[in-house]
Structure 1
Amino acid sequence: MPVFPEATPLERRRFWLLLLIAFIVIGAGMGLRDPWPSDEPRFALAAKQMVESGDWLFPHRGSELYSDKPPMLFWLEAASYTVLRSWRIAFLLPSLLAALGSLLLVYDLGRRLWNRQVGLYAASALLITFQFVYQTKRAQIDPLVMFYITAANWGLLVHMLKGPNWRAFWFGCFCAGLGVITKGVGVLALLLFLPYLVAVFGQWHGVSRMGDGAWWRWSLGLVALLFAMALWLVPMLLGAKAHAGDPAYAAYVNDILFHQTAGRYGKSWDHHHPVFYYVPIVLFTWLPLSLTYPGTLPRWWQALKTKDARILLPLGWIVLLLVFFSIPKGKRDVYIMPALPMLALITAPYLGELLQKRWLRIAGLAFIVIMGAAMLGVGAAALVAHPKFASEFATARGFEDGGRSLWWMALSIGVIMLALIVILRVRHAVAAVACSMAAMWLIWSLWAYPILNDSSSAAGLMQEVREHLPPGDQLGMVAWKEQNLLMLDRPATDFGFTKPWHDQYAAAVKWQAEDPSHRWLFALDGVMADCVDRSKAISLGHANRREWWMFRADAVVQGCLPGEDVDRVPAATLEE
């Protein structure tokens, strides 16, 4: 085992300060908002139904099985709630822990492969990157996938570059398996074998060679991978077999094992983009880290020319990951987020030198000036000139004051950013960029979350529903969204989620007619068509960019059923 020099008091202080800053920046706002569309309410609802039903094996979305994603995130959210008893904290806690875990892993890799200073640079570079903070402040699956893939990379890199360390290797393979049962792509960490083989056969410096008799130890990595996957797959398959009489469970198995994995990759049905879609992602959403590219690219090239395996393996893996996700038509920016920790790692060895370069400091200040000026301009224009975009935003969100609080927030962020530039200037450009990014995230979290929560989460809308629903009456939901059922916070009857809206409406009206004096329907405006007398219905207003109503049986036009055209709504209406 390698022996590391003991950390100096200064190094320890910097390490703990970095973790504290990460905790504050990423954790800010927890408890101030509910899950926001599009994915957060869906995952939180699945977790909530696990807790309430006791069925932690098969996620549900209302009355339907939910087979789009494996249940790893839902388990962690449900477990967090079981401990904390607060959904407002529990639904965000897995992302916060995944972020802190990723930072620790990158720090440790930098420490092992270079030194503690490089480890601090690596973790700091990751923390300052826009996409990393933006995504880890949300309750989506991608931060968790990033953590498991980074953990897998950690185990493989420690073994391949500082080994042999078979425990680290088996741990990495196990984490790759956990990544598979989180989103299916955890196995991509094993792409590290390709640049590793190049390094071994090319006699690169710093690569570990395991000997000819180690084949059986390598094979145990596959065992660790499959064991992690079996933790979910075996109980799930046995559970589906126990429900052999219900075709919904057979459809669940087929969808989650085949349609949502190989089917989604080979024949993508959404998020279609051209092959070079990720080029602007790595340039702009990875700011300000991407500002270092002009300095790191020639240094990476020089390291490759000198056969430095510490650069080859992570860099080669990043390239392979980008190529893999560029092949299918379906692309999203979060797909390549697992590459960010490795990018921060191979940037870190050169940051001490690069941060002294005047061109990089000026580039960092220019980035903040552009952001600050944009924030200041948008906020001032919305407050003074009331342009169309501001009015439309306020209307969509249901803000009676025109959203003035948010425009003041934007203006404040802009003023703070520009003030930091003026005060700190080029000499302290690093501090100006870091403080500006931190200020932006803190102000957004503490100021915007409470303002946007009611309209974004449907909390205000469902409060209206509860106020209009007499005690003891029942509610049926038509053309509903996950945030509606989640924020209702009481039992309701749904008529399917993926079922066509006109079929939902027909089933709902029939259900309501069985007890017309005590049953209400909650419905999207568009699905009601001319089959509901709106003068007898209750308008709930605008939320999540939609109009919502609730009504009793006396508002239903007898014998009228909406046509199939109600299911074909404009794309803008469906987007969150």
Structure 2
Amino acid sequence: MALLVLGAGLGMRDPWPSDEPRFALVAKQMVESGDWLFPHRGTELYSDKPPMLMWSQATLYTLIGDWRVAFLLPSLLAALGTLACVYDLGRRLWTRRVGLYAAWALLFALHFTFQSKKAQIDPLVVFFITLANYGLLRHLLSGPAWRWWWLGWFAAGLGVITKGVGVIALLMIVPAAVASLLGWPRVKLHIRDWRFWAGPLAFVLAIALWLVPMVVTALGSGSVEYRAYLDDILFRQTAKRYAQSWDHHQPWWYFLGTMPSMWIPAFLAIPWAIPAWRRRLQRRDARYLLPLVWWLLIVLFFSIPNGKRDVYILPALPMFCLALAPLLPGLLRKRAFQWLLGGFVALLAAGLLGIGISMLMGQPGFERKLILDRGIDTAVTSGLGWVAVALGCWAVLTLCVAGVRRFHLAVVATLTMAWVAFGLIGYPLFNDSSSARGLMHQVGERIGADAELGLVAWKEQNLLMADRNAATFGFNRRWDRQLADGVAWQAAQPQRRWLLVQEDALLACVDRTSAELAGVANRRRWWLVRPGDIHGPCVASAEEQARERALHRIDGDE
């Protein structure tokens, strides 16, 4: 079932913004250049994230030779690994039935499923953090188990070189240490054993697999570019970004709204789970203490800085489902809980039917947003309308068939069909506009096979989806400077060189009456510019520079 829900649509789409094209482009350039140690985005070094995901994508492409499969496969494998860890922990700490409930709750939690079907770093870091929790809990609650203890530390280190925050897995030791000091049964740290201290060495070893060769190469080369990459990825993108977050500003209570909205349907059990957890903690059951306190520590950790995103607390979801699983057999026998699950499916059905009917009846709000912002034609919006209506009818049918005492089966059936339809139908319908494949295909046909293409104010999907080796003039550089360099590049061979320019980067030097609108993709309009469309020097005014800075901030929020 997990393979069906998470894998439906694999190989049927290209990378979609905001992050997927970036990582896929970096991985592709790794394969093409052979430089796997210092990732590049176009001609510039990419230092925003450690390279673990890109390594995974590049390795899988080397093995299977298909980017459409390789870019999504790390997320799928990581999600399956996370489910396996949660299931096996539940089985070992309680029973096989509890393990299955934990895995089912995690699989259909909207946040987990949604992220696992995307080619971003988060599914991979969630797997490494969950694997670290698995190893630590095997030792702390069922130990001594030194190999699992070492694996837990090593996996946390791999999480660090995946996204930096992998170290949060080690916070599991905090409630374990407190419980051990208070004499709770089952919890043992074995701190006097020398093998205990081999754990931190395993953590350092995992980080050193990437850090040591990268630092040695950067310092030994004498390259200013490599040294800047080193400083940015080790300092600005880690500790400084946490302490002085510069984007995604949210209030301190942000995650208190994120979890109830994104961790459903599992989070619907909270009103009954909290008193049940309290009773078990009063009985000093450490199997609940460790994952629950760790969950709260993660929420607290990410609530401190101003910058917050919903994916930050995704690593806590597997442990939440693990602590919830022993309660689910009893909760599913409660009529109130079943009615709550039924209400969730009913609301989902009403929403799908309402959206689908509105799209089929041509309500302008839906069509305008899809057509103007996404570049999707009316034939596609009609298809989406029918899909939404079909899913809404399916949800109603599952409620009728399941009955009052088995509404949880309606939840499983409805969400399964929705995710499968999203993969098998939604992927092909949205792909051309969301991935920029359609735009770049049209551009390639318009300029001809022998022409050269330059990109100005480009996004990663433009370079990734281009049908030829496109010239770029920097990525993080100011757009007016990119345009000026692009115009100079074009002037060297004006008969065969074209520029593809984002509309917001078109300065007064570009004559829009003669330039061609290439198309709309990812809520942006793109123009083809020829040498004859340029009149005068391309210099940005103060107002145009301010607008560009504002647009960069919006791109960062995406």
Please list every run of 5 or more consecutive structure 1 residues that lacks an aligned counterpart in the other structure.
1-20
1:3 matched to which residue of 2? none
SS of residue matched to 2:183: coil
| Aligned equivalents of 2:369, 2:171: Cα separation in 1 | 47
The residue aligned with 1:481 is 459
Q: Equivalent residue of 2:238, what SS?
A: helix
User: Which residue identity is paired with 1:496?
Assistant: G
Separation (CA, whole Å) in 1 of partners of 2:544 and 2:440: 23
SS at match of 2:50: coil
Aligned pairs for 1:218-257 within 5 A: 218-244=196-222, 246-257=223-234
Q: 1:470 to 1:385 in 2, by over 3 A?
A: closer
Identity %: 51
- 2:353 aligns with 376
Encode CA deviations 1:44-95: one digit per residue, 9 max, x unaligned: 0000000111101111110000000000000000011111111111000000
Q: CA deviation at 1:552?
A: 2.0
For 1:515 and 1:466, locate their aligned partners in 2 and report how far apart those are by CA, in whole Å: 18
1:89 aligns with 2:66: no
Q: Distance in 2 between matches of 1:545 and 1:397?
A: 5
Query: Is the aligned partner of 1:321 residue 2:298?
Result: yes
Pairing partner for 2:365 from 372, 388, 394:
388
Cα shift readout 1:273-312 (whole Å, capped 9, x = no counterpart) = 0000001111110000001111211111011111111111
Q: How does 1:54-453 map to 2 (within 5 A)?
A: 54-210=34-190, 213-214=192-193, 216-244=194-222, 246-401=223-378, 403-453=381-431
> What SS does the aligned partner of 1:480 have?
coil
Q: Residue 36 of structure 1 aligns to a residue in which SS?
A: coil
User: Structure 1 residue 560: deviation in Å?
Assistant: 4.2
Shift of 1:558: 3.0
RMSD between superposed Cα atoms in Å: 1.5
Q: For 1:102-141, what per-residue CA distance to the aligned partner results, in whole angstroms no more than 9, with x for missing partners? A: 0000111111111111111111111111101000000000
Q: TM-score, normalised by structure 1?
A: 0.94
Q: Confirm or deny: 8 A CA contact 2:101 2:328 kept in the other structure.
A: yes
Amino acid at match of 1:396: D
- Distance in 1, matches of 2:13 and 2:259, equals 30
Q: Name the CA shift for 1:209/1:385 in 2 (closer, same or farther; >3 Å).
A: closer
Question: Is the CA contact (8 Å cut-off) linking 2:333 and 2:405 kept in structure 1?
Answer: no
Cα distance in structure 2, aligned partners of 1:343 and 1:213: 31
Aligned-residue offset at 1:473: 2.5
**1:406-446 Cα deviation digits (max 9, x unpaired):** 12222221111112112222122121110011011111111
1:470 aligns with 2:436: no
The code of the aligned residue for 1:34 comes to D
- State the AA in 1 paired with 2:54: F
Question: SS state of the match for residue 26, structure 1?
Answer: helix
Instruction: Give, in angstroms, the shift of residue 365 of structure 1.
Output: 0.5
Q: Is the 8 A contact 1:478 1:501 kept in 2?
A: yes
Give me the whole-angstrom Cα distance separating, in 1, the residues matched to 2:353 and 2:285: 46
**Structure 2 unpaired stretches of 5+:** none
Taking the aligned partners of 2:403 and 2:541, their CA distance within structure 1 comes to: 63
1:321-344 alpha-carbon deviations (Å, 9 max, x no partner): 100000000000000001111011
Cα deviations by residue, 1:375-412 (Å, 9 ceiling, x for unpaired): 10111122225132432222222233161111222222
Name 1:6's counterpart in structure 2.
none
Cα deviation for residue 564 of structure 1 reads 4.8
TM-score of the superposition, structure 2-length normalised? 0.97
Task: Work out the number of aligned pairs and report it.
Answer: 553
CA distance in 1: counterparts of 2:18 and 2:299, whole angstroms? 25
In 2, the alpha carbon distance for the partners of 1:469 and 1:268 equals 43
CA deviation after TM superposition for structure 1 residue 492, in Å: 1.3
Q: 1:548 aligns with which of 517, 526, 532?
A: 526
Q: Distance in 2 between matches of 1:142 and 1:235?
A: 25
Q: After TM superposition, give the deviation of residue 469 of structure 1 in Å.
A: 2.5
Is the Cα–Cα contact under 8 Å of residues 531 and 562 in structure 1 kept in the other structure?
A: no
